[in-house]
Structure 1
Amino acid sequence: MTRAAALPNLEFETPVVLLGGGDVCAKDCKFLTDFTGPILCADAGYHTAQKLGLDVACVLGDFDSVDQAEIQIPRLHLPDQNFTDFEKALRSITAPQILCFGFLGQRLDHTLASFSTLAKNAGTPAILISDQDLCFACPKQLNVSVPCGTRFSLFPLERCIARSAGLAYALNGLELSPMGIISTSNHTTEPQVRIDMVSGTALVVIERDVMGLLCAQLT
């Protein structure tokens, strides 16, 4: 296994945005232009930030998609090609919450790599955001309040065992696996949802409409 090089640590006391080079929808653009916290870019995410006129705190990455010479703000060169810019950026940031835009859509291999990064860094409070969904690694215990009928899927990235309360299709010690049973297209039946991950790693995929409510509970 390749050992990761030591990375810098950027510490923030408030939630931050991490912007990648993938799709950014109209809802994303409005959120980003209204966001008052620190905004960081992973490599080509800098181009999106320029188009939107965002005030960016730092650009991180190997700079294979953006010319360092055009970056007139603080930048961190993270050249290790064994890891994606998304993973290197996550491992370089300490914050109560990292809202990640531009890491889903476009190339499927990039999207799958983003899911892998969430799984490998499950202790990092990172949330992937697209025009329809939010996605994050499920913690050992998750307790959230969302409206009844909210789409709430749990997708296993390995063999895992989970229990749930408040979902239409309960996970009462059920073994989930990418090659076996998965829990997609589930939905909430109670205002309070609880997930206990007995073992293994899974992603929570929940509809974008509850973004403000959910993110406030995950900080």
Structure 2
Amino acid sequence: MIVQTSETVTLVGAGLVTQTEIARSRALSGLVVAADGGAQHCLDADIMPDAVIGDMDSLALGQRSGLPAERIHTIDEQDTTDFDKALRNIAAPLIVGVGFAGARLDHQLAVFNVLVRHPDRRCIILSDTDIAFLCPPVLQLSLSAGTRVSLFPMGLVEGTSSGLKWPINGLTFTPDGRIGTSNEATGEVEIVMTGPKMLVILPKAELENVAGALLQTPAQWPAL
């Protein structure tokens, strides 16, 4: 494990990201970690990352010269993405990822794949419009009536809900079958899932709300 902390961590990727998004995530966290080329986003924002993790194929030698050598952690294997390399090497109560959505659809899908393959890591992905995270065993959120709540299965999964306009009780979700996009909250929401396969997608305005809820959720999925 490269980073071990009791604080929330901001994880910066090399994709599309604004300094406003980085600053918003940093307001929730104590440490900043860059995934490979995300280090340049940090330096552009005058932030010295606490660690840089990845295969370093998108971080030029000139860019590395501005980083302390002991903070660069090179993982040479090419079987996983830099997001995967970083996520599995951070032990923290919560990780907020920025710079992992937007530019390329294949990269974004790969990020969602990693969230499901590392269910023991609590991680919220912040994009320019939304946030996405793996639903814990029990999710309790206070949402305003009418707030969009999208549920997208990454495998076969079932669950129950209260506080959704269209309850999910008794439904079976699969990526090639029933999905749950564009549901709505009616107020206090509780979602219970049978396994670590459901992504929750909410408007980005709910970042702080969700971060607080996940930190207060005692149950979490075990490592696969």
Task: Determine if the TM-score, normalized by the shorter chain, exceeds 0.5.
Answer: yes
If the length of structure 2 is used for normalisation, what is the TM-score?
0.89
Q: Does 1:152 align with 2:149?
A: yes
Q: Could you tell me which residue of structure 2 aligns to residue 129 of structure 1? A: 126
* Structure 1 counterpart SS, 2:180: coil
Q: What is the CA deviation profile of residues 33-79 of structure 1, one whole-angstrom value per residue up to 9, with x for unaligned ones?
A: 65661101000101111111113111110000003542422111111
List per-residue Cα deviations over 1:168-206 (Å, max 9, x = no partner).
11101201111111100111012x111111246110001
For the structure 1 residues 34 and 213, does the alpha-carbon distance in structure 2 shift closer, same or farther, using more than 3 Å as the test?
closer
Query: In structure 2, what is the Cα distance between the partners aligned to 1:208 and 1:56?
Result: 24
Does the Cα contact within 8 Å between 1:161 and 1:200 map onto a contact in 2? no
- Residues 135-182 of structure 1: CA distance to partner in whole angstroms, max 9, x if unpaired? 111112111222222111110011211211101111012011111111
- Structure 1 runs of 4+ aligned residues shifted over 6 Å read none
* Structure-2 residue corresponding to 1:16: 9
CA distance, structure 2, for counterparts of residue 17 and residue 167 of structure 1:
30
Q: Secondary structure of 2:132's partner?
A: strand
Gaps of 5+ in 2: 216-224
Q: Which residue of 1 aligns with 2:60?
A: 67
Check if 1:38 corresponds to 2:31: yes
- Residue identity opposite 1:55 in structure 2: M
Q: Name the amino acid aligned to 2:209.
A: L
Distance 2:29 2:161 in 1: 35
CA distance in 2, matches of 1:21, 1:217: 27
The runs of 5 or more residues in structure 1 that have no matched partner are: 1-7
1:205 matches 2:201: yes
Cα distance in 2 between the residues matched to 1:145 and 1:91: 30
Let me know the Cα RMSD of the aligned residues: 1.6
Matched, 1:52 2:45: yes
Whole-angstrom CA distance in 2 between matches of 1:34 and 1:157 = 30
SS in 1 for 2:183: coil
Query: In structure 1, what residue type is equivalent to 2:174?
Result: S
Alignment check: 8 A CA contact 1:100 1:128 kept? yes
What is the letter of the counterpart of residue 186 of structure 2? T
Q: Give 2:167's aligned amino acid.
A: A
Secondary structure of 2:182's match?
Answer: coil
